[in-house]
């Protein structure tokens, strides 16, 4: 997370200063940049896309249990789908990307008053 922050802020501050403040080495930061993305990171990126699609398909009403079921039904491997259903679930994975639940609009039913049995018998 520190390297991600440094990478995001390097346009505003020198890398040397950011590394010093966050107590990381510059060589570690540059090694992180040159390193290939891990299989887990790429799997998480694919999972995030699948979660977003499932969430959008449900008109943003599905929570993590339903998204998890949909991912499993769609053929996602067990560990990936289970990671989607953990305590952090879809909410934390997509908080920054604008995916959030929308409560369905409720319509109120206008009920007619029941006719009184006394009024109808007279």
More confident residue, 4 or 109: 4
Contact (CB, 8 A) for 51 and 67: yes
Same domain for 28 and 46, yes or no, is no
Same domain for 45 and 70, yes or no, is yes
Structural domain that includes position 43: 39-94
Residue 76 tokens read as: 């996602």
Range 59-68 contact pairs with CB under 8 angstroms and sequence separation of 24 or more? 59/102, 59/104, 60/99, 60/100, 60/101, 60/102, 61/101, 61/102, 61/103, 61/104, 62/101, 63/89, 63/90, 63/101, 64/89, 64/90, 64/91
Same domain for 48 and 90, yes or no, is yes
Please count the structural domains in the chain: 2
More confident residue, 42 or 87: 42
Same domain for 30 and 43, yes or no, is no
Residue 45 in domain: yes
Same domain for 87 and 55, yes or no, is yes
Same domain for 25 and 46, yes or no, is no
Distance CA 95, CA 97 (A): 6
Residue 8 in domain: yes
Checking if the pLDDT of 100 tops 80, the result is: no
Same domain for 57 and 29, yes or no, is no
Same domain for 64 and 79, yes or no, is yes
pLDDT, tens digit, for every residue of 44-90? Answer: 888 888 888 888 888 877 777 787 788 778 776 656 656 655 544 55
Alpha helices in the chain (DSSP H): 2-9, 15-21, 26-34, 39-57, 64-73, 78-84, 89-94, 117-121
Q: What is the pLDDT of residue 114?
A: 65
């Amino acid at each position: 997370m520190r390297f991600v922050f440094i990478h995001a802020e390097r346009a505003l501050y020198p890398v040397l200063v950011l590394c010093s403040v966050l107590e990381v080495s510059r060589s570690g930061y540059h090694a992180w940049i040159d390193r290939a993305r891990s299989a887990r990171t790429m799997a998480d990126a694919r999972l995030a896309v699948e979660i977003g699609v499932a969430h959008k398909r449900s008109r943003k009403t599905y929570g993590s249990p339903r998204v998890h079921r949909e991912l499993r039904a769609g053929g996602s491997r067990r560990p990936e789908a289970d990671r989607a259903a953990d305590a952090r679930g879809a909410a934390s994975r997509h908080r920054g990307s604008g995916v959030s639940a929308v409560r369905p609009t409720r319509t109120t039913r206008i009920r007619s008053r029941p006719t009184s049995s006394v009024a109808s018998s007279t």
